[in-house]
Amino acid sequence: MGFPHPSHPGETVVLSKHFGDAGARTHAGWVERGGYEGLRKALGMTPEAIIEVVKASGLRGRGGAGFPTGLKWSFMPKDDGKPHYLVCNADESEPGTFKDREIMRWTPHALIEGCAIGAFAMGVERCYIYIRGEFTEPWAVMAEAVREAYAAGTLGDNAMGSGKPIHITLHRGAGAYICGEETALMNSIEGRRGNPRIKPPFPAAAGLFAMPTTINNVETLAAVPHILVRGAEWYKSLCKGNPKSTGTKLISVCGHVQRPGNYEVMLGTPMKELLYDMCGGMRPGRTLKAVIPGGSSVPIMTAEEAESALLDYEGLIEKGSMLGSAGMIVMDDSTDMVYQIMRLARFYAHESCAQCTQCREGTAWTTRILERILSGKGKESDFDLLLDLADNMTGTTICVLSDSCAAPVVSGIRKFRGEFEAYIRRERAPVLELA
Amino acid sequence: MSAGHVVDAEPYEPVFTGETMAELERRFAEYPNKQALLLPALWMVQERRGWISESTISEVAAVLGLTPAYVKGVVTFYTMYHTHPVGRHFIQVCTTSPCGLCGAEDTVRALLEHTGCGEVGATSADGRFTVVEVECLGACGFATPVMVGDDFIESVTPEKVPELLARYP
């Protein structure tokens, strides 16, 4: 559903079916709508069989990386005698992305059910859902849903009468974009600063509290109950493009479109259909200039690239960008690209955890150079300096925050160079004053 | 209590006593060690005291078996913990790119004007409001999102600011 707008016929509504329906928030309401059938079915299967179904469905991580979920689950060791953990990443803080918030606000039990199925499949007794500190309303809805799930016996030492313990703890973040990175998130739960960890070891070997751990995004886990109930073949059939991209995806659309919101489409849907049919196109009198399709960390696309792209993992790579979290930032012809790229760089400079030099210095330098250009004091040599910095910031650090800052700078200079030159050559009036 | 360099104007009143301590202790069962309770414990402090002082940092450290320096390192990493007192209503406005495209900076200006805060980060003279700019609040389709305390308000435009503020006396 194009929440908060009515559903569009071009959408395929699975995860968002009950967005806006407050009755779906309660345990009883969820059961009435067919909820917890996926968990019931899973508890009657072997853990291996559950993982096989998830593998066969083709479900891939919806947080940004697109890693096959069933394969990730299969990396967890078996019968090793150690506690295992499942962590749900509900830190949604990638600019442009606001889908997990709606899943938690409207269908909290879908997430609890997905967590419980994953927990059972991976021998996990306790799952932590890490919710960003600013999500006060989703937190309250989730807390009530967890309380209800315990009261109903769905969670607890004998989950749904299965004899298996499945527990869920909500853990509140406190304001740090970097905690959406899985190893930083684990440090944050452990009561540490949110600094990403060097990999290996990978979480499945030594993750939370140094124990085998799997981290999945909210949307990924919320899709699992549907796959258990309706089958892997059904999920695989939800595909309009590349067969490696299956299922539906919630696309968050923001910026200069007539109807911003969350749209659920089959992977492989043409981006043009989403932008013009579902979102109603640009504001009156305006034309499309650029799209950042996967949350702010992916390369910027021109209007031509966007209008010819298919919305799936492969389709966006083909156009030089990435599906990422599918948080789509749409910019029309009124947009000052240099200013927007500076604003993104400033975001990354603010959010750098500062443990790697390339990132701590690189994000700050990039921001200052872009501010200098916007203040009318840019030089022609700034292009080389920015690109050299970006080169040193890519693939050289513990996590990819630094790469994410470099991506819009490099793609922005390549695709909108004239706008930078206009400031540097004093053809355009400065918009910033440097202190 | 350690950190002898901290001098309080008044005798320090601990946060973790009675029911507050009992609430923290109930949560110990959900984690394999006490350190993992650090973020939850800091939230409990901020909910009760409004901000996290040097003395409460020392108290949290003692309760969880950590050093005050360690706790301070964690407190200062996260932007939502206040290390100094703030206005009665703490206002956070998103100005990251998606909201910036939709006029967030105008909303900030209206908030600064109508609260009397004057500048970002300052508290109004009557102690009623503090306004800060924050990075992405995760509601980009509902620009501009504003948080007042724990309330999350979507689609705030400059015109809506006076009515919004009136709800927070």
* The CATH number of the domain covering residues in B18-77: 1.10.10.1590
Ranges in chain A, pLDDT < 50: none
Enumerate long-range contacts of A207-212, CB under 8 Å, 24 or more apart.
Answer: A207/A85, A207/A87, A207/A183, A208/A85, A208/A87, A208/A128, A209/A83, A209/A85, A209/B32, A209/B33, A209/B36, A211/A82, A211/A83, A211/A84, A211/A85, A212/A76, A212/A77, A212/A80, A212/A82, A212/A84, A212/A85
| Minimum-distance CB partner of A193 among B66, B73, B137 | B73
Chain B residues with CB under 8 Å of a chain A CB are 30-33, 35-40, 42-43, 64, 66, 73-74, 77-81, 92, 96-98, 100-102, 134-143, 147, 150-152
Does the pTM surpass 0.80? The reply is: yes
The single residue listed with the structure tokens 């330098």 is A365
Sign of CA dihedral A191, A196, A199, A203: positive
Closest to A69 measured CA to CA, from A84, A89, A83: A89
- The minimum CA-CA distance between B40 and chain A, rounded to whole Å, is 7
Residues from chain B contacting residue A169 (CB–CB below 8 Å): 30-31
Contact A376, A423 (CB under 8 A): yes
Work out the number of other CB atoms within 10 angstroms of the CB of residue A426: 11
Of A136, A192, A262, the CB nearest to B74: A192
Nearest to A191 among B36, B137, B143 (CB): B36
Measure CB to CB from residue A172 to each of B39, B96, B134 and give the nearest one: B39
Q: Is A172 on the interface with B (CB under 8 A)?
A: yes
Q: What residues of chain A, 205 to 264, have a C-beta less than 8 Å from chain B? A: 209, 252-256, 260-262
pLDDT digits (tens, 9 = 90+) for A122-138: 999 999 999 999 999 99
Distance from CA of B15 to the nearest CA of A (A): 19
**Which pLDDT belongs to residue A3?**
80
* B42 to chain A, closest Cα gap in Å: 9
In three-state secondary structure terms, A236 is: helix
Q: In chain A, whose CA is at the least distance from the CA of B81?
A: A174
Which residues have a Cβ under 8 Å from the Cβ of B20 and sit 6 or more positions away? B44, B48
The structural domains of chain B, with segments of one domain joined by +, span 18-77, 89-166
**Residue B157 to residues A332, A430, B109, B136, B160, Cα–Cα distance (Å):** 20, 26, 11, 17, 5
Q: How many CB atoms lie within 10 A of CB B65?
A: 9
Identify the pLDDT of residue A434. 85
Tens-place pLDDT, residues B5-31: 445 567 899 999 999 999 999 999 999
Interface test with B, best of A3, A134, A218 (most B CBs within 10 A): A134
Which CATH number among 3.40.50.970, 3.40.50.720, 3.40.30.10, 3.90.330.10 corresponds to the domain B89-166?
A: 3.40.30.10
* pLDDT value, residue A262: 96
Q: Which residues contact residue B35 at a Cβ distance below 8 angstroms, ignoring those fewer than 6 apart?
A: A190, A191, A192, B64, B65, B66
* Residue numbers in chain B where pLDDT is lower than 50: 1-6
Residue of B nearest to A255 (CA): B98
* CA distance, residue B136 to nearest chain A CA (Å): 6
From chain B, pick out residues whose CB is under 8 angstroms from the CB of A210.
Answer: none
The reply to whether domains B18-77 and B89-166 share a CATH topology is no
